Amino acid sequence: MTIRILHTADLHLDSPLRSLAMKDPRLEARVRTASRSALETMVRYCIDEDVQALLIAGDLYDGQERSAKTAAYLATQMERLGDAGIQVFYIKGNHDAENPISGEIALPDNVHVFDGRGGKVQLGDEEIFIHGVSFRDKHAPDSLLPKYSSPQPSAINIAMMHTSLGGASGHDRYAPCSVAELTASGFDYWALGHVHKRQIHSQSPWIVMPGMPQGRDIGEAGPKSATLLTISDGSIKVSEVSTSVIEFREVICALDGLEGNDTIRAHLREALRAEAEAGSAILRLRLCGETPYAWHMRRDADYWAETLGSLAQEAGDLWIEKFTIDLIEPTVVSPDGVNALRDVQQLMADISQEEGFAADAQAEMEQILSLLPTDRRRELVPDVAAQDALLARLKEESILSMAAQMRGQGT
Amino acid sequence: MRLRELDLTRFGHFTDQSIDFGDRHAKGSDFHIVYGANEAGKTTTMEGYLRLLYGFPARDPYGFKHQRANLCVGGTIEINDTDHGLTRLSTRNANLLDATGDVVPETLLQSALGGLSMEDYRKLLCLDDETIEVGGDEITKSKGDIGRLLFSAAAGVSDLSEILDKVEEMTLDIYRKGGSKSLFAELKRQHDQVSREIRDHDVSASDYRSLRDARNQAGETEADLRQQKKALSLNRVQLEALIKAHPLARALSDVEAELEPFAHYPDALDIDPEALVNMLSRRVGLVAARDRAAKELEALEEKRQTLVPRPDALAWAKPLDALKVLKSRVETAQFDLPKRQAQVADELKEMTRRLSDLGIDLGGDPMRFVLGEVQLAALELHRNLLLDAEKTLEADSNEAQAAAEKLDEASKAQQAVEAAANVGPELSALMARYHGDMLLEKVTAARHELALNKRQLTSKLQGLTRLDKTFDDVPLLAVTAAQAKALAGQIVKAEEKRTLSQDQLVAMEKKWGEAKRVVELSSALPELISDAAAAETRRQRDAFWAAHRAALVDETADRFEMAMHADDDKRSIREGQAREIADHRQAIRAEIEARQDFETVSKAHEDAKAQAARLHEQLVGLLQACALPDSLMADELSQWVQQVEDAQQTKAICAAIGNEHAPLFQRASDLQDALATELGEPDAELDALVAMARVRMAQYDEEQRNIQNAEADFAREAAEVERREARRAQSAETRSAARQAWDAYIAQHLPDVTAQIDLLDALPTLRALREINERMNGVRRQIEGMEHDLALFETGICALGFKGDGSPEHEPLAVFAACEAEVSAALRIETDLAGLISRMESEKADLDASQAALQAIEAQVDDLASGFDVKIKTATLEDLREAVRTATRAIDLRATAKVMAQELLSVLNVTTREQAEAELAAMTGQQAAADLQEIDTEISRIEQALDKAIEERAAATLALNAVIGDSDIAALTARKRTIEAEMEAALLKYLEGRFGHMLADRAIRRYRDSHRSGMMAATEKAFSDLTNGAYGALTTQPGAGAEMLMAIQSSDQVAKEASAMSKGTRFQLYLALRAAAYEQMASNGTVLPFFCDDVFETFDEQRTRAACGLMHRIGQTGQAIYLTHHQHVVDIAREVCGGEVSIHAL
């Protein structure tokens, strides 16, 4: 007998996509509720493919999105699964613990929510036991491993845990524990959650971080999926089920030696067509390489933003959320009249490093950023280091942009 | 960049003008002066150069000679040591072409220009009186930033502040503090709006919990109130039943009491009281009908006895009906018959009258003249054919007559034209032979040419007049123009030499005199022993020595001694006078030299005088040889000789023209003679003769055309006469045939009409006869019909056998009327009798029916009465009705009592009468009403509370149910996040712009400051050079919101601003600023041609010299081009620059 179990985590239900590309009404209409679409994809898969259980390893909700409508929506999806006889096992992650809505709406009977004390549940009459421990609070500084009951002998034991393991880039430490400790615990499959990027830490036993089912910004780039466990004759096989409606993708486009609007436009068109073949995506495009046309591109950045938008639309289901110009110019003899500008540019660079200017710029930046909504500001500059980095980047960009404007003057 | 060649192909007043600036000197200066008089086009040259670089404006003031569309400049421009042959057209686009005509991108020039706009080029490097002042003023008074324009030039861009302004504008579009129209403000508004929508429509966890609690609470409250209300309502129903039951019980008792007297009446009744009423009313009606019918029968019988029938009169009815139609026709005929007969007679009279009008004898029956319709039509056809033929014949005869007349006229006209011709063809032959017109044209041109040259000769001969000497012909020359000119030159030189030598002689004489005076003065010293005196003393001593040596005696010795002493004394004295002696000697030497000089000069002067005199004599000799007054000067002679040579040349041309055209003139003369003879005008000129010949020839041509026309007219008219005659003969034949046909027809159908009577006009009469005959026949047919009707009517009347009363009026119509009256009376009697019998039968039937119905009603009453108790009266129909009414009342009361009893039990909710009465006895109605009022109050209160509770519960349920899993909030949240991303992007772009602006602003200031000192120093030096040190330094002073450039005067160290300087000095300052800018631009790699259009005009000579030096220096760096119409500037430039300036004449 073959048993199928779908493992997911970090749905962050109703947490929206965070991209400037969403300005495009076409895109907005398509991915307005991408996290719901991802959940529905999984629910549909479970029903269509005769999946027996869905494991949700934490962060079903997002910490910020606290609408009761989200919970109501979740309840309807769980009912769909219940109607199809599919059980759902759910441990609360740090975001769930933080989100008060998670306890307000009663979920249907087919959903088993593990509490903070932990526990195990048998999957129907199968010799399969699901273990799990929920977060009690939004912080879990200590390992949750001791809370897990021992694996059931002579059965498949699947343990669900929301953890950052030993710590991951971009994530705080939550319920820390090591792969070695998990390996030694005697479970057959560790259904982890918390880290948004898919990773298989071990195949014996399986220690799987499935990643989130739908990326929300360029920091969560790449195709997203859920993990399917196929249990047959006491062994587990693991595969991926694609879930994301649209993916974020970072693209680097080299323009070495290219000159002239037409040539560059043609090159970019080809590059975007190739990207379109890889599936619909929201792109962050970085133009790099060495070209004498670099300053033209900088000067005409607005024009190129428009052009890239059109080319992306023409190529297929692509949207450009941002493009950066990291082009450099070849070091050749400057044409007449450029010497003075070069001097001015150097002076700008020098001034930008002076304390007086740095103080003025920082004051102005703080004042301007205070206009942003608090959460957004906190995301942009979470700490002093980030603020300094932003200031440095803005200064550098402003010099390059201004120099390009000056060079382009009169042409 | 360098301008090698400028082509003003079509520009201003220039056409294909070119200035070649040639190669750049390998060493030295690339300084050019374009020299030309006023209006030569110097400014046009500079503007043309700017057009080559920047193109033509939409309205070009230099399109006055060539149309705007045709304007074109070109040239060769060196860019990075490569020559570019360029042409600028005045088309809108792609107007810069290379040597092969291909379009050259503007970037070629733009990059070489370093981004300098045309206006800035003009202000900086194309200086004329206006631009030097305007641009200079802008520089010296630039608002708060003295170096802005200079920096711009140095930086190779026109204006960086424009970039800064654009960036600032961009940032302000994104965010403006306190502004409501910026991008950020708009995003903020959207963000607030979305946040508000989320807040208004979202349900949080705590809200959801509250909703659920509220719904539960409301549900419980509602249930409690419902329970209370239910109990009260039950109590209320019981009280209401009691209140209702009390009156019901009383009413029931009353009904039962009322029923008691009718106990013996039946419980049920099958008689309908309405049926009894109907029976009563039917009986009354039947009795009345019976009585009326009996009375009517009697009256009808009496009336029948009075009527007697008439069968005899009734027998006439049928024959009279048959005669009725005939009778009406007879009545009409009796009136019409005489009138118709008279009408026939009148018609016959009319026929006779019409025939007699035609003159036809009435010897026979007029009816024989009545023809049928076919015959009349044939007669009319023949008549019309005859009349038409006659008309045609007449018309053709007239036409033939007219044609004959026209032929006669044409013949006369031909004769007249031929007689009028008086010009022969000889002139044409003559003119053709000589090609008269062409010859006249050529001769006229040749004569004009000859006359022109002769006029020139005359004019030139007049020009030879000198004083009162005039010349009628070109004189012979004893000298050539070159010789005369050489002589004049020699005389001028000789005179110059003589004057010079004379001046020198005077000077030398003066000098010699002064030398002599010096000698005199030096020799005039009293104790001075002159060399001569010393030499004399020495000579005497030597002589005495020689004498003593020879003699060796005391005397000689004494003389020798004395001489020796004297010599010694003088030597001694002279030793003390060494300086004076030296001076004296010098004076003598100088005097000697001066004298020698004087003599030399004097000799030279004499030679010069002699030479001048000789040359003058030669001049006089030549003048005399030329028969000119002696007083003329040599150059006048030279000029005169030249004029004579010119006149000789003109004379020779005249002769050549005469010779060249001699055959032409001969032919012209021959033609003139021939024409004069032919035209009889011996004195007329050729042109007049040719004109007359042309007129005569035209006249001949006209006459010939007239003769030809007349001949043609005659031939055409002759042909017409012939044609007309033929037609007339044809018409005559046709008429004859028509006449014969007519006569034959008359003879056939009207044989007794004599030939004297012309029937051509009788056709209408014959038609009228036919119509009269038709009418008459109709009347005769009517008369016959009437007479037939009268006979038939009389026969019918007689057959009736009517006797009448024997009166004489027994004619048929009267008899008919009498019989008709008898029949009518008999018929009326028959009709009345039949009606009476019918009515009597009907009345009898009515009487019988009424009596039967009355008997049936009586039987029915008896039957109904049998159902009642015997004590009740039912004998009559009225009694029966009363018994039935009473029984019905009793039955109704019994039913009412039963219903009321049941209702009472029902109201009290009991089953027996006893229980009901017990209930009623327990509480009175008043007590129940009081209790009910209290309960109603309580129920009302509870109902209000319940309504509110229901409302609250429904609302709470609705609110709770509204929390569904729709995605509205998720979508709004997504929108909010997107707006936040946009806000962030906008602010970052704002910051980038702001930082760029701040940095660029500061960097540009620094750059300018660092370059300013260099610029100031270069300007200072150039200005000092130009003013020859009059202004040694420059400084700036803050003015009212602006920084002013001031120059410090070297003499008193006073700082002067440009406006306080003279125009020349101010221009020098402005020129110095441009020179410094040029230097700065060159150091940054931008080298462009520098034009000045006569801006040195107001400079004095020294400063012009300095300015030429400055242009020379600019030329060493790049290319300097100065446009002027002042020769002295050219000379000064040559003096200052030597061979390093190129002069180009316009």
DSSP A30-99: HHTTHHHHHHHHHHHHHHHTT--EEEEES-SB-SS--BHHHHHHHHHHHHHHHHTT-EEEEE--HHHHH-
Distance (Å, rounded) from C-alpha A163 to C-alpha B419?
A: 144
What is the rounded distance in angstroms from the CA atom of residue A225 to the CA atom of residue B484?
A: 118
Express each pLDDT in A163-176 by its tens digit: 988 865 555 678 88
For A308-313, the CB contacts below 8 A with 24+ separation are A308/A268, A308/A272, A309/A24, A311/A265, A311/A268, A311/A269, A311/A272, A312/A272, A312/A283, A313/A26
A285 neighbors A323 (Cβ within 8 angstroms): yes
B166 vs B170: CA distance, rounded Å: 6
Candidates A18, A68, A361; nearest CB to B205: A68
Helix (H) or strand (E) holding B84: strand B82-89
Backbone angles phi, psi at A203, to 5 degrees: -110, -10
Cβ–Cβ gap A20/B117 under 8 Å: no
Of B117, B205, B992, the CB nearest to A100: B205
Closest CA to B623 of B612, B610, B634: B634
- The DSSP 8-state label assigned to residue B757 in this structure reads S
Q: Which residue from B98, B70, B83 is spatially nearest to B10, judged by alpha carbons?
A: B70
Question: For chain A, what's the residue count?
Answer: 411
Q: Are A231 and A3 in contact (CB under 8 A)?
A: yes
A28 touches chain B (CB under 8 A): yes
Question: What are the backbone angles phi and psi of residue A211, rounded to the nearest 5°?
Answer: 75, 165
Whole-model pTM?
Answer: 0.47
Cis check for the bond before A205: say yes or no (omega within 30 of 0).
yes
- Rounded CA-CA distance A387/A377 in Å is 10
Q: Are B139 and B152 in contact (CB under 8 A)?
A: no
Smallest CA–CA distance, residue B35 to chain A, in Å, is 33
Structural contact between residues B529 and B577, judged by C-beta atoms closer than 8 angstroms: yes
For chain B, say whether A107 makes contact (Cβ under 8 Å). no
Dihedral sign computed on CA atoms, order B967, B973, B976, B981: negative
Token digits of residue A104: 């307000």
Q: From the list A104, A340, A405, which residue is nearest B1084 (CB)?
A: A340
Q: Reduce the DSSP state of residue A87 to 3 states and report it.
A: strand
Task: List per-block mean pLDDT (blocks of 10 residues) for chain B, which spans 1146 residues.
Answer: 92 90 83 88 90 89 86 91 90 86 84 78 86 78 50 50 84 91 93 92 81 86 90 88 88 84 79 83 84 82 76 79 85 84 85 77 69 84 87 89 90 87 79 84 86 88 84 84 85 87 87 85 72 83 87 84 84 78 81 87 89 88 85 84 88 89 88 86 85 86 87 90 90 89 81 62 81 87 85 80 61 79 80 81 82 80 78 79 83 87 88 87 87 90 91 86 80 90 94 93 79 77 89 75 75 85 90 86 83 90 91 92 91 88 88
Q: Angle formed by the axes of helices B662-679 and B686-749, to 10°?
A: 50
The answer to whether A190 and A183 have CB atoms below 8 angstroms apart is no
pLDDT for the residue B780: 84
CA–CA separation, B798 vs B820, rounded Å?
15
Residues of chain A with Cβ-Cβ distance to B987 below 8 Å are: 368-369, 371-372
Q: How confident is the model at residue A210 (pLDDT cuts 50, 70, 90)?
A: very high
The pLDDT value given to residue B212:
79
Which pLDDT score, from 0 to 100, does residue B810 have? 62
CB contacts, 8 Å: B166 with chain A:
405
Contact between B977 and A66 using a beta-carbon 8 Å cutoff: no
Angle A330-A334-A337 from CA coordinates, rounded to 5°: 145
Beta strand extents in B164-251 (DSSP E only): none
> Nearest 5 degrees, angle CA B672-CA B675-CA B677?
110
Of A17, A33, A339, Cβ closest to residue B1084? A339
Q: Do A74 and B160 touch (CB under 8 A)?
A: no
In this prediction, residues A331-344 reach a mean pLDDT of 60
B1098 backbone dihedrals φ, ψ, rounded to 5°: -95, 10
Distance from CA of A44 to the nearest CA of B (A): 17
**B123 touches B158 (CB < 8 A):** no
Closest by Cα among A283, A271, A208 to A239: A208
Who contacts A114 (Cβ-Cβ below 8 Å, separation ≥6)?
A89, A90, A91, A92, A132, A133, A134, A160
CB A407 within 8 Å of CB A299? yes
CA dist B766 and B370 (Å) reads 7
Contacts of B155 in chain A (CB under 8 A): 337, 340-341, 344
Q: What does pLDDT average to over chain A?
A: 89
Does the pLDDT of residue A152 top 90, yes or no?
yes
Cβ proximity of B728 and B399 under 8 Å: yes
Three-state secondary structure call for residue B1130:
helix
Share above pLDDT 70 across residues of chain A, in percent, rounded to a whole number: 95
pLDDT for the residue B77? 93
At B1040 the pLDDT is: 58
Give me the residues paired with residue A237 across strands. A230
Taking CB atoms and an 8 Å cut-off, how many pairs form between chains A and B? Answer: 233
CA distance B830 to A3: 128
Looking at per-residue pLDDT, the higher value among A67 and A109 belongs to A109
ipTM over 0.85: yes
Which pLDDT score is estimated for A410? 42
Quote the tokens at residue B1081.
Answer: 């631009």
Residues of A in contact with B114 (CB under 8 A): 336-337
User: Measured between alpha carbons, how far is A101 from B681 in angstroms, rounded to an integer?
Assistant: 138
Query: For residue A74, which residues of chain B lie inside 8 Å, CB to CB?
Result: 965
Query: By three-state DSSP, how is residue B17 classified?
Result: strand
Q: Would you give the end-to-end CA distance of chain A in angstroms?
A: 75
The two three-digit tokens of residue B153, written as one number = 């030039």
Contacts of A216 (CB under 8 A, 6+ apart): A12, A15, A16, A17, A18, A34, A35
Give me the count of residues in chain B: 1146
What does the block give as tokens for B1024?
């000092």
Q: Is there a contact between A347 and B1003 if contact means CB atoms under 8 Å apart? A: yes
Contact A336 B1086 (CB under 8 A): yes
Amino acid letter for position B1133: A
Contacts of A348 by beta carbon, 8 Å cutoff, 6+ apart: A399, A402, A403, B999, B1000, B1002, B1003
Q: Which helix (H) or strand (E) holds B8?
A: strand B2-11
Closest A-chain CA to B151: A340
Asked if A363 reaches chain B (Cβ–Cβ under 8 Å), the answer is: no
CB B48 within 8 A of CB B36: no
Residue A77: predicted pLDDT: 93
